[in-house]
Amino acid sequence: MSLTNSTLQEFTEKLASKTSVPGGGGASAMVASIGIALGDMVGEFTVGKKKYADVEPEIKDLMEKAQDIRVKLLKCIDDDAIAFEPLSKAYSIPKEDPTRDEIMEKCLKDAAQVPFQILQLACEAVDLQREFADKGSVLMISDAATGVAMLQGAIKGAAVNVKINTKSMKDREYASDLDSKVEALVDEYVSKADEIYKSVMERL
């Protein structure tokens, strides 16, 4: 059964169980999808209000982008599980097998790509959430702040799930390049998320 189509109870029970998937990557994608869904919620409570008529076209555009990101993040939950399966099998290949290193390397690179995508999507979502917080209904800014806090957690979670794979790669140039990209995004967007959260708290 698709993890994305699981009920919340089923998903969290699987997450809590002694199984490799879903794990931190899938959980980060789920949290990020909820975080940006809260931005959409702000939008829904903003459009149609006379007070916000001037920004309605912008809000509708933000909502469309947010919905696209949310769909992609939900897909990442299953993609993360699919990418991990061959890696889990690769770990069981005997060390004396001459093909082990090559197989492991490919599996590690593939497994790192999904959390990196989750990270990128969560960062895009933070930028959208800033707009929702700044331009959306003032009655909903606490939801925007909650969303950005969740996105920040997802960013950190996705980053560490890239790192767990890059640390085992033999191709250190590839690993270092990916790590640098991750660190740059984390540094920028954890700070951005803090700023948005603080800004909302000061307005309450």
Q: Which domains does the chain have, with CATH numbers?
A: 22-203 (1.20.120.680)
pLDDT value at position 191? Answer: 98
- Given a contact cutoff of 8 angstroms between Cβ atoms, the answer to whether 145 and 58 are in contact is no
- Do 3 and 77 touch, CB atoms closer than 8 A? yes
pLDDT of residue 94: 85
Instruction: Give residue 3's pLDDT.
Output: 80
Q: What's the CA gap between 28 and 72, in Å, rounded? A: 13
Within 13 Å and on the Cβ side, how many CA atoms surround 177?
6
pLDDT the model gives residue 34 = 97
**Residue with tokens 């033999």, as numbered in its chain:** 170
Task: Show the low-confidence residues of the chain (pLDDT under 50).
Answer: none
Indicate the SS3 state at residue 6. Answer: coil
Q: Give me the pLDDT at residue 202, please.
A: 95
SS (H, E, C) 108-135: HHHHHHHHHHHHHHHHHHHHHHHHHHHH
Looking at residue 1, its pLDDT comes to 55
